[in-house]
Amino acid sequence: MIRRIATHLQRLAHRVWRVSRRAVLALMAPVLALVFSIAMSSVFLLLADASPLEAYSQMWSYGTRSDSLVSMVNRAVPLYMSALAVAVGMKMGLLNIGVEGQYRIAAVAAAAVGSWIVLPAPLHVAVIIITAAVAGMAWITIPTVLKVTRGVHEVISTIMMNFISIGLTAWLLANWLDSRESSSDLLLATDYIPESGRFPNLNWLIELFGVELRAGTNLHGFVVVAALIGVGFYIVIWRTRFGFDLRAAGINRQAALVSGVDSKAMVAKVLLISGALAGLVGISQMLGSFYRYTVDFPAQLGFTGIAVALLGRNHPAGIAIGALLFGFMERSAQILDLEGIPKEIVTIMQGIIVISVVVAYELVRRWREAQAQREVSREMPEATQSTTEGLPA
C-alpha cells in the first residue's frame, strides 16, 4: 500500500518536474528577449540623456500601483483581441493586416447602434457586441471575396481597406453620427450609449481583496469575455476537427487539400472569424469607459496586435502574456513625461522586444535541440541497441 502511494508520488513528482521544466523552457525565449531589449532600450535612454536605471525604477514603481495594474489589464484586453484576430489567420498562413480598419468600422457601428437602441441591460450589451463582430466581419468580406475568387493577396487588400476605413469612419462621424449640439464642442463624437448598454466593471472583485481603488479607476468587465474567447480559441484550434483542418492547411496546404480540406471555404471561414474577432478590439474600452466613439478613439491597436501575436507565437496563453506586457509598458510609460523623458521610448522598446523575441525563439530552439541531443547521449549508454535491431524483419 505504502509502496503504491510512494510510486504514485514519485510519478507525480516526475510529472511536476517535467511540466515545470517545460514551462521554464517555454519562458526562456521571451525572458531572454526582454533582457536584451532592456539593454538596448538603455542605450536609447542614454542617448536621450536620461538615466536608464532611474527611468526603469520610476516605471516600475508607477506601473505596479494598483490603479496602474488595472490600467494595464484594460490596455491589454484590446491588444489581446487584436492579436487573436491576427493569430487565427496566421495559423493558416493568412496575414490579416486589416485588423486596424476592421475594429474602427466595428467601433463606429457598435457606438451608433448602441446609442440608438434601448434594451434591457444584458440584451443591450449583447446586441452591441454582436454588432461589432458582424461589422468587423463585414469589413473583411471584400478582401475575402477577392482572395477566394480572384486570388488577390489578403495583405494588399486589407491594407487598402484600412485606408478606406479611416476615410469612411471620419465621414460617418462628421455627417451622420455627430452628436454635438453646438459647434463650440470641439470633440467630434457619437451619442453616449445609455447605462443599459455599458459593461459592468469588475471593481468589486478587486475590492474583495481589500484593495482601495482611486476614484475613476475601473476594471473593464469585458476582460471576462476576452478570456472566454481565448479559451474558445484554444479549444477550437487544437481540439476540434475544424481546428485540425485549419492547422493542416497552414502546415501543408497540398496535403490538407488531398485530405479533403476545401481550401477556399477554409480561407473564407478563417478570414471571417479573424474579422469578427477584430471587430471586438475596441469594445472593451467603449463599453468600459468611453461609452461612445470619438475622433480620438484609440488607434494603432490593429498593428500592435500583429506584434503581440508574434510575441505570443499565435497561442492564446502566449498572447495573453504579451498583451499584458505591452499594457504594462504603455501604462508605466506615462510617468516618463513627468521625468522629462519622451515616452515614445516605450514604442521603441516594444519594437525591440518583438524583434528580439523572434531571434530568441530561434536561438532557444537550437539550444534546446542541442540540449536534447546531449541528454539522449547521456541516457543511452554505448551498449543500447538501436530500435531497429532485434525486431522481426
Partner 1 sequence: MTPTPAVELRGITKRFPGVIANHDVDLTVSRGEIHAIVGENGAGKSTLMKILYGMQRPDEGTITVEGDRIDLKSPTDAIEAGIGMVHQHFMLADNLTVLENVILGAETRKGPLLDLAEARRRITELSDTYGFRLDPDRLVEELGVGERQRIEILKVLFRGARILILDEPTAVLVPQEVDELFRNLRGLRDEGVTMLFISHKLDEVLSIADTVTVIRGGTTVTTVDPADVTARDLAELMVGSELPTPETRESTVTDVVQLEVAGLTVRDATGRTAIDDIGFSVRRGEIVGIAGVEGNGQHDLINALLGLVPLDSGRIVLGGVDITHHSTRRRRESGMGYIPQDRHREGLLLPEPLWENAMLGHQRTVPFARGPWIDAKGAKERTETILRSFDVRAPGVGIPAHALSGGNQQKLIVGREMTASPTLLIAAHPTRGIDIGAQAAVWEELRVARAAGLAVLLVSADLEELIGLSDTLHVIYGGRLVAELDPAAVTAPELGSHMTGAGKGAA
Q: Which CB sits closer to partner 1, 120 or 390? A: 390
**Contact 274/266 with Cβ under 8 angstroms?**
no
C-alpha grid cell for residue 118? 434601448
Minimum distance from residue 365 beta carbon to partner 1 (Å): 12
Q: Which CB sits closer to partner 1, 10 or 240? A: 240
Residue with cell 478582401: 143
Q: Is 137 exposed, middle or buried (0-12, 13-18, 19+ CB in 10 A)?
A: buried
Minimum distance from residue 142 beta carbon to partner 1 (Å): 26
Q: Which CB sits closer to partner 1, 170 or 257? A: 257
The DSSP call for residue 198 is S
Minimum distance from residue 32 beta carbon to partner 1 (Å): 23
How far is 245 from 250, CA to CA, in rounded Å?
A: 9
DSSP 116-133: H----HHHHHHHHHHHHH
Minimum distance from residue 382 beta carbon to partner 1 (Å): 8
Q: Which CB sits closer to partner 1, 180 or 239? A: 239
Q: Which CB sits closer to partner 1, 148 or 257? A: 257
**Contact 386/78 with Cβ under 8 angstroms?**
no
Q: Which CB sits closer to partner 1, 300 or 373? A: 373
Q: Which CB sits closer to partner 1, 182 or 387? A: 387
Minimum distance from residue 152 beta carbon to partner 1 (Å): 18
Minimum distance from residue 249 beta carbon to partner 1 (Å): 10
Query: Is the backbone of residue 313 left (phi > 0), alpha (psi -120 to 50) or beta?
Result: left
Q: Is 224 exposed, middle or buried (0-12, 13-18, 19+ CB in 10 A)?
A: middle
Residue 384 β-bridge partners: none
CA dihedral of 159, 161, 165, 168, whole degrees rounded to 10: 140
Which amino acid belongs to residue 349? M
* Rg of the Cα atoms in the chain: 24
* Interaction site with partner 1 (CB under 8 A): 239-245, 247-248, 251-252, 254-255, 257-262, 372-373, 376-377, 380, 384-393
Alpha carbons within 13 angstroms on the beta-carbon side of residue 369 total 6
Minimum distance from residue 283 beta carbon to partner 1 (Å): 27
